Structure 1
Amino acid sequence: MRMITFFLVGLTVHVIFFLSIFDIYFTSPLVHGMTPQATSLAPPASRLVLVVADGLRADSFFTLHPDGSSRAPYLRSVIEERGTWGVSHTRVPTESRPGHVALIAGFYEDVSAVAKGWKENPVEFDSVFNESRHTWSWGSPDILPMFAKGASGDHVYTYTYPAEEEDFASTDASRLDTWVFTQVKSFFQSAKSNSSLRASLLEDKNVFFLHLLGIDTNGHAHRPMSQEYLENIGLVDTGVAEMVSQVEDFFGYDGRTAYVFTSDHGMTNWGSHGAGHPSETLTPLVVWGAGVHSAQRVTESQPYDDGYLQDWKLEHLRRVDVSQADIAPLMASLIGVPIPVNSVGVLPLLYLNNSDLFKAESMYTNAIQVLEQFKMKMTQKKETTLSFLFTPYQLLTESKQAEFIRKARILIQLQKYEDAISLCQSLISRSLDGLVYYHTYDRFFLGCSVVLGFVGWTSYVVLVILKTHASLNRHPSVLKQTPSHTLARLCMCVTVVITVFLLIQRSPATYYIYCLLPVPVWYSVLKESGTLTDLIQSAPSLPLWKCFGYFVLVAFGIELLVVSFFYRTMLTVGLTLLSIWPFLSGLFGKAKFRSLSWFLGCLFLSLFPLMPVVGREPNIHLVTCAGLLTLFTSLCYLWSSRQRTPLHLSDRQQFVTQMLHVAVCAYVPSLTHSSLQQKQGLPLVNQIISWTTLGSSMLVPLLSSTRLFHRLLSIFLSLTATYLLLSTGSEALFPPVLSWLMFVWINIEQEAMLAQGVSGRQELSTIDFSANIDIAKIRQLKLDDIRRSYFFVFFIITAFFGTGNIASINSFDPASVYCFLTVFNPFIMGGLMMWKVIIPFIIVMCTFETIQVATQLSSRSLFLIVLVISDLMALHFFFLVQDYGSWLDIGTSISHYVIVMSMTIFLMLLSVVTHILTSQRLILWRRPKLHFP
């Protein structure tokens, strides 16, 4: 009962620590209540056409054919004759949803909002569509609805195709774009005979949005260098040319239409997006029509040294790069609607072909719009902070705000437009910095509270280990004899003071949890302080040098694991060091074959961190080879244990069936990818086999014997079969190699216990997971158990970063899930990829469960050491979290903490699942007993 209570408390504490990072770093930057800002001058355009070619890379669009012709001749002519062009720089994550939010709403959506919903709008935000008089949009059901749902009134109209059309196995994904262009053509044709629709179209401040998903779908399915992807660019170019002709014809060539062509994100060479590679973050931007500068020829060098201008043969035309959020105020300025109130974009004036007065007034409007957000953020923070504790942003106090506004208006009145524009740009820059300042105002305070709780929890776990699982000399102490009511009163006083302070500041409910959690944690630590006294008094009898050596090695090992999060090759270094452990510890002389197997297993496994996580070219032949290696490993596994644990008939039949199943699963990816290459779609039989394998992967092992070798082999075969179906190349070899090393680890730990003369050693051949462990034989922790716990954490990290991790999910290759489905579904596909990451976890967890049983340790003791090591890593990453530098650097530092905390929580839950997976057995039928008269 005490163990269950400790488990639940520990789980709760880690969940709180995990969630704290979202309140500290992932809170929404949005504020509400600002007044929309618009320029009073007449806009140059009456309507805007926005075309977003989803997944279009800048280089794929701008690069010419070898013969000098363009893949997009119409848009190329626009660039060279009557438009302004540049590169739109996106932010990570380079996904469709945050990309479109930046384009249309002008702000960079926080990660928590993306996680709340994909197709709909989880947070209220303003957009160009919302500010328009009417918006008509055509395209994907994944993008369009979120802008319609968040719009006030009923003036955003969406026309979407069924989600089933987004099929990566489609014979021609470009039909998604053809559908959009056809619908737009039909729309304008019907408007000619529909008087009410025609009247609406002839009004000003209208927006037409074309979302083209074909290029993205073809890129995922065939790679950006494929003929399908490149030909789709030409189809889009032709469609845009025809669409422009239709629009101009409908409006009588009145010259009042502005056009914006761009993309939400790019794509890597291997057909993925989500990370920060230039191929993902550089997207094309072409703007032409009413109010836009025509092509500007330049003779001097341009301020871009990325080397693309010469490759694109565009060095003679002025290039104007923007941040993706800058496009929203540009569109708003062209049609004269208010800039979205949450926009952080800066109006790119070089695109505008208008008077200096219009440019100055537009930039002034942009500055006031951003300043309104700053003022609202400052007011909110001031209202929830005690006056004597409030520190305003010194670069933009209320007096400085008024001075900026007054000077800007005077400069505009004096017709000093360039000076006014420069001043407004300075005001925008300070306002944006001030927004960050107030958005992160409570970060230090919350961080200190979380760190205090973290240190207290880790200290408490260490004391619990020393008290219940270590052989310390117990001595009566003054601290033990001190009544605890004084300590309880002190903690109550601290709790009251903190609560009153948070109430006065009207802090959110979660702040109470983060600030009050350290109180009971440190109360528990101080109550156990007598254990620390026992440790100090037992110090003379302890092997201090050996303890110090273990402490140094584990500290070095933790640092190595921390560095491996930044450089995966450090895992190769770690595995190489682990490979020589039997030779340094003296085990080689007692178990040469197992030591050599350990050495080779570590070296083979060390090759995987050297391979790329994403960006591999598919090699289905390696998946087939992995299936053969799995069968070979299984036969060796059976051969090594045949004398000690003979197979029963039922077990033999199950293993034969599972091995045949692995052979089938090794062949299914080859058959599937061959069918897709021939554009015959996903075979139904392959899909049935894949989903059946996935669904039964955790149930089939429960049918086997609970003897150690039998159950581990069944788990290995079942999980590897699923892993093969989710593989496209060399990563399929990872589970067989990892499983072999885990099998050797179990055996070599037996030799280590024999060498140390531990009496609790149990023969592997006699271990039955379902048997109850004799409590009397459970031993106390030894120093060597710290090594075992560290090995476990190291192998868990290796299982995570060995071949697939969060980066591979964020920038995953859809080909990995083609055996299961080809129709785009982000949640199912993400779930399948997450399960692929979890499978090596389960293999390592089952091994750790086996070692705990084999070494006669309680499941709690070793896991407590693991908990301490993981928490020290998490605390390390908490201090490494940064809020400066590039967005990618910030996101990476935060994700490392989230990964470690998630891993700790996940391991606590997975330990329960693993225990069930190894010890429980399902009996589907029983042989009837024979009764004789």
Structure 2
Amino acid sequence: MLLFFILGLLVHFVFFGSIFDIYFTSPLVHGMTPQFTPLPPPAKRLVLFVADGLRADALYEFDENGNPRAPFIRNIIMHEGSWGISHTRVPTESRPGHVALIAGFYEDVSAVAKGWKENPVGFDSLINESKYTWSWGSPDILTMFAKGIDTNGHAHRPTSREYKDNIKIVDDGIKEIVSMLEHFYGNDGKTAFIFTSDHGMTDWGFHGAGHPSETLTPFVTWGAGIKYPQKVSVQKFDDAFLKEWKLENWKRQDIHQGILPIDYLNNTDLFRAESMFTNAMQILEQFKVKMTQKKEAILPFFFTPFKLLSESKQLNILRKARSYIKQRKYDEAVSLCKELIHLALKGLSYYHTYDRFFLGVNVVLGFVGWTSYASLLIIKSHSNLTRGVSKEVKKPSHLLACSFIALGVLVAFFLLIQDCPWTYYIYCLLPIPIWYAVLREFGVIQDFVLFVLTFPPSQLVAYLFIFTLGIEVLVLSFFYRYTLTAGLVAFACWPFITQLRTQAKSISLSWIFFSLLLAVFPLMPVVGRKPDIFLVMGAGLLVLLLSLCVVTSLLKRKDHFINEELLLHLVQMLSIVLSMYVVYTTHDSLLKKQGLPVFNQIISWITLASSFVLPLLSPTRLFERLFSILLSSMSAYLLLSTGYEALFPLVLSCLMFVWIQVEQETLRQPSVSYKQKVTSLQFTCSPDITQFRQLYLDDVRRAFFLVFFLVTAFFGTGNIASINSFDLASVYCFLTVFSPFMMGALMMWKILIPFVLVMCAFEAVQLTTQLSSKRLFLMVLIISDIMALHFFFLVKDDGSWLDIGTSISHYVIVMSMTIVLVFLNGLAHLLTTKKLELCGKPKSHLI
């Protein structure tokens, strides 16, 4: 089993790393012939103002008194220059935004594996094409572009008075700098000015994803070579913002990166056409270099050129464009250059993704082979599915081994003569030993097929349909959270097709009620929700009410250790009360701009630390330990909640406890009543492995339930695939000074709490059903690998960076699900089985 786990880990690392060779290699090309516009530029110098984290609407809107927030910029728009919206792309972070601003292209996708801070990539830009470049700002700006309005927005949010007053300060600063520069250069009219932003910010103080408030940034330009304001009666961009900003009569010109925005240029038609011709030549040069590189790396009879832009077509377009310029048909020349740019960009993408299909096929072969091998291992060693069927192990023939060796040598030779990267050898050779291992188990395959054929065709089709539908629901839930609601509704209907509705009517009703109640959460909004402290208070009151019921039941017991348990429950109830107090008073203090009270901060950290220890003081009886874990988790979760999500762990835990009861009922022995069985259960550090049983077909359902509940914990109240789904206000009981690492750690613990509750419940399920966690993980591995195969095809390297980053996050989540399960299982095992003794000696509990 250990060897299998190590091999599985290695295989999954390879499969994970493959997406960076297939989807995320650098598209940057070097070695092009420089291209220049033959006409003199209208400006001698460029001044670029970048307001970090400034939203377009925040700059252009009026304040509550009807005055412009940025009067100097407003005056520029109406009397001196041109304006519009700059459409940025995700990640809406500082470094990618500045790359786009100074280099004219979007962030190198290969940098997605390196982070967005300081990872220099060699590319051409305004800076290294300029004779001199000066940069002013705080030390953080010059190194990582991290301060200004941006930090103000994180701390106070873009709708705050502080953020909006900051805009006026920026506006005054720009006015002062412009006046100074014009005076220094004697008002020679040779300076061009651009004011914009690298990214925006959401109402809740985040950026990094694709919300319009993050991707729509202001763009105002004036000075040498820039058109003066143009009045219009009809705008190309018709939206409500124009009237709100009172700019509906001033021509708005939006820009994207990469292509020269010639509509901004105040120059001759000849200059505009020549500039666009140079822009087209620059991109065409990249296309030529990319094609040459790919052609030299591939055997001639395997090379397929990009047919839409042959050499003859390139020459024909360039000849026509140059002819139009000579004939003064400038609009026709510009149109033809734009067509050439479009084709060259498509050709660049074609050659950049040339090997994608070949590599993808090999990775899919490896995926399918590995999943098949893991399935055969379960069938062979951990199940009774082939009981009664012959299991004679036949030694693999030498012919099979020799055939696979020959195939490996052939593949390696093919890669060698094409001078492929070393990673290609791994992706292409790995499927060979995997499929050899699969075909070695031909006898098991044969036996399993014979076993499957014993099922009636209709029943077999029904099983396959339900399993496939379940997998698809899990996959869709990563994109559409409400599919979890559909799944939970289906769970609620499950007792009606089993014996549970007659065998355990009250348990069935509880299962239906809590499944439907939990189904509400995925329908709630993920981002942009406003804080609702009363819901947090309500969640705390419900936990206290539940605790009172438990305390009442404890008082009815007559064992010798009632005082110890009662005291622990009272301490945990006090912790809940303190959490509610801290949340309420902190929210009130922040509304009054009085900051985070020190007392509240101390209580918050103590509560968080104690939540790890208090459960270990409770008895290891199933109900008492699980309830103690819930109380401690809720005390910490309340401090990290801002609204309805505070109710989520409580409802989830109720459903988990019902699940334990349901699974006990499915395996109940006729001679033992349920009540007797539940009171006799205790978590133990060293379970008796002789009690573990082989896997049954029903265990596939249990594994699926576990995966489904974990995915529900992922997306029940938020989307952990996007950092943009979280509200910074959720950590304000612990700290209010912006600290990405500390805030990230607190948010991560908030995410993990529902997972821990699910895994602790499953510890009880394993205990009641005598199910080995190792065997369970094999089934979870298969389910997660099938999901991973889906997400492998859904990985994106184009479109918005939100789509790209989310697709990678989904793939990473399912690829690492089994590893995370091992970690969570260990944590749950610690929380459920370990017992701390305050008196220093162990005690035996009386039942």
Counterparts in 2 of 1:854 and 1:875: CA distance versus 1, 3 Å: same
Counterparts in 2 of 1:136 and 1:660: CA distance versus 1, 3 Å: farther
Aligned to 1:149: none
1:17 matches 2:15 = yes
Letter in 2 for 1:81: H
SS in 1 for 2:194: strand
Q: 1:514 aligns with which of 413, 420, 427?
A: 427
Q: 1:297 aligns with which of 231, 242, 250?
A: 231
Instruction: Say whether the 8 Å CA contact 1:547–1:783 is kept in structure 2.
Output: no
The alpha carbon displacement at 1:237 in A equals 2.1
Aligned to 1:342: none
Counterparts in 2 of 1:104 and 1:700: CA distance versus 1, 3 Å: farther
The alpha carbon displacement at 1:701 in A equals 3.9
The alpha carbon displacement at 1:579 in A equals 1.7
Instruction: Say whether the 8 Å CA contact 1:762–1:856 is kept in structure 2.
Output: no
Aligned to 1:314: 247
Aligned to 2:340: 427
SS in 2 for 1:286: strand
Letter in 1 for 2:654: W
User: In 2, Cα distance between the equivalents of 1:557 and 1:762?
Assistant: 34
SS in 2 for 1:284: strand
Q: 1:109 aligns with which of 103, 107, 110?
A: 107
SS in 1 for 2:683: coil
User: In 1, Cα distance between the equivalents of 2:549 and 2:699?
Assistant: 29
The alpha carbon displacement at 1:457 in A equals 1.4
Q: Deviations over 1:626-682 (max 9, x none)?
A: 233333344545667886998565555444333333332333233333333333333
The alpha carbon displacement at 1:465 in A equals 1.7
> Which consecutive residues of structure 2, in runs of 5 or more, have no partner in the other structure?
none
The alpha carbon displacement at 1:919 in A equals 3.3
Q: How does 1:132-143 map to 2 (within 5 A)?
A: 132-139=130-137, 143=141
Counterparts in 2 of 1:864 and 1:137: CA distance versus 1, 3 Å: same
SS in 1 for 2:86: strand
Counterparts in 2 of 1:10 and 1:686: CA distance versus 1, 3 Å: farther
Letter in 1 for 2:758: V
> Which consecutive residues of structure 1, in runs of 5 or more, have no partner in the other structure?
147-159, 167-212, 326-344
Aligned to 1:879: 793
Letter in 1 for 2:83: W
SS in 2 for 1:133: coil
Aligned to 1:394: 307
Q: 1:502 aligns with which of 408, 411, 415?
A: 415
Counterparts in 2 of 1:923 and 1:359: CA distance versus 1, 3 Å: farther
The alpha carbon displacement at 1:113 in A equals 1.7
Q: How does 1:315-714 map to 2 (within 5 A)?
A: 315-323=248-256, 325=257, 345-471=258-384, 472-473=386-387, 475-476=389-390, 480-539=393-452, 548-636=461-549, 650-694=564-608, 697-698=611-612, 700-714=614-628
1:255 matches 2:189 = yes
Letter in 1 for 2:21: D
Instruction: Say whether the 8 Å CA contact 1:461–1:864 is kept in structure 2.
Output: yes
SS in 2 for 1:255: coil
Instruction: Say whether the 8 Å CA contact 1:614–1:808 is kept in structure 2.
Output: no
Greater shift, 241-250 or 744-753, is seen at 241-250
The alpha carbon displacement at 1:477 in A equals 6.9
Letter in 1 for 2:499: G
Aligned to 1:915: 829
Counterparts in 2 of 1:756 and 1:861: CA distance versus 1, 3 Å: farther
Greater shift, 135-144 or 842-851, is seen at 135-144
Counterparts in 2 of 1:668 and 1:507: CA distance versus 1, 3 Å: farther
Aligned to 2:217: 283
Identity fraction in percent: 61
The alpha carbon displacement at 1:506 in A equals 2.3
State the number of aligned residues. 841
Letter in 2 for 1:605: L
Aligned to 1:84: 82
The alpha carbon displacement at 1:485 in A equals 3.4
Letter in 2 for 1:248: E
Q: Deviations over 1:107-132 (max 9, x none)?
A: 22145525524432343334323333
Instruction: Say whether the 8 Å CA contact 2:77–2:220 is kept in structure 1.
Output: yes
User: In 1, Cα distance between the equivalents of 2:550 and 2:318?
Assistant: 78
Letter in 2 for 1:460: Y
SS in 2 for 1:385: coil
Letter in 2 for 1:136: W
Counterparts in 2 of 1:534 and 1:92: CA distance versus 1, 3 Å: same
Instruction: Say whether the 8 Å CA contact 2:88–2:97 is kept in structure 1.
Output: yes
Greater shift, 33-42 or 727-736, is seen at 33-42
The alpha carbon displacement at 1:688 in A equals 4.0
Q: Deviations over 1:189-212 (max 9, x none)?
A: xxxxxxxxxxxxxxxxxxxxxxxx
User: In 1, Cα distance between the equivalents of 2:93 and 2:25?
Assistant: 19
Q: Deviations over 1:442-471 (max 9, x none)?
A: 111111111111111111122122112222
Greater shift, 632-641 or 652-661, is seen at 632-641
User: In 2, Cα distance between the equivalents of 1:784 and 1:799?
Assistant: 23
Aligned to 2:638: 724
The alpha carbon displacement at 1:581 in A equals 2.2
The alpha carbon displacement at 1:58 in A equals 2.1
Counterparts in 2 of 1:750 and 1:419: CA distance versus 1, 3 Å: same
Aligned to 1:129: 127
User: In 1, Cα distance between the equivalents of 2:348 and 2:491?
Assistant: 49
Q: How does 1:774-853 map to 2 (within 5 A)?
A: 774-806=688-720, 809-853=723-767
User: In 2, Cα distance between the equivalents of 1:443 and 1:757?
Assistant: 61
Q: How does 1:4-83 map to 2 (within 5 A)?
A: 4-65=2-63, 69-83=67-81
Instruction: Say whether the 8 Å CA contact 2:210–2:800 is kept in structure 1.
Output: no
Instruction: Say whether the 8 Å CA contact 1:89–1:321 is kept in structure 2.
Output: yes
Counterparts in 2 of 1:845 and 1:142: CA distance versus 1, 3 Å: farther
Instruction: Say whether the 8 Å CA contact 1:274–1:280 is kept in structure 2.
Output: yes
Question: Pairwise CA RMSD of aligned residues?
Answer: 3.2
The alpha carbon displacement at 1:549 in A equals 3.4
Q: Deviations over 1:485-526 (max 9, x none)?
A: 332222222222222222222222322222222112212211
Counterparts in 2 of 1:843 and 1:485: CA distance versus 1, 3 Å: farther
TM-score, normalised with respect to structure 1: 0.83
1:753 matches 2:667 = yes
The alpha carbon displacement at 1:349 in A equals 0.7
Counterparts in 2 of 1:7 and 1:460: CA distance versus 1, 3 Å: same
SS in 2 for 1:39: coil
Greater shift, 791-800 or 638-647, is seen at 638-647
The alpha carbon displacement at 1:748 in A equals 1.9
Q: Deviations over 1:277-298 (max 9, x none)?
A: 3232222111001111111223
SS in 2 for 1:134: coil
User: In 1, Cα distance between the equivalents of 2:775 and 2:376?
Assistant: 12
Greater shift, 792-801 or 424-433, is seen at 424-433
Instruction: Say whether the 8 Å CA contact 1:18–1:902 is kept in structure 2.
Output: no
Q: Deviations over 1:59-97 (max 9, x none)?
A: 332234576542222211111111011111111232333
TM-score, normalised with respect to structure 2: 0.91
Instruction: Say whether the 8 Å CA contact 1:248–1:254 is kept in structure 2.
Output: yes
Instruction: Say whether the 8 Å CA contact 1:256–1:290 is kept in structure 2.
Output: yes
Q: Deviations over 1:292-349 (max 9, x none)?
A: 11112234x23223343333332322221101x2xxxxxxxxxxxxxxxxxxx11101
Counterparts in 2 of 1:87 and 1:509: CA distance versus 1, 3 Å: same
User: In 2, Cα distance between the equivalents of 1:59 and 1:725?
Assistant: 33
Instruction: Say whether the 8 Å CA contact 2:630–2:757 is kept in structure 1.
Output: yes
Counterparts in 2 of 1:646 and 1:885: CA distance versus 1, 3 Å: farther
User: In 2, Cα distance between the equivalents of 1:827 and 1:384?
Assistant: 44
Letter in 2 for 1:798: T
Instruction: Say whether the 8 Å CA contact 1:37–1:369 is kept in structure 2.
Output: yes
User: In 1, Cα distance between the equivalents of 2:606 and 2:586?
Assistant: 16
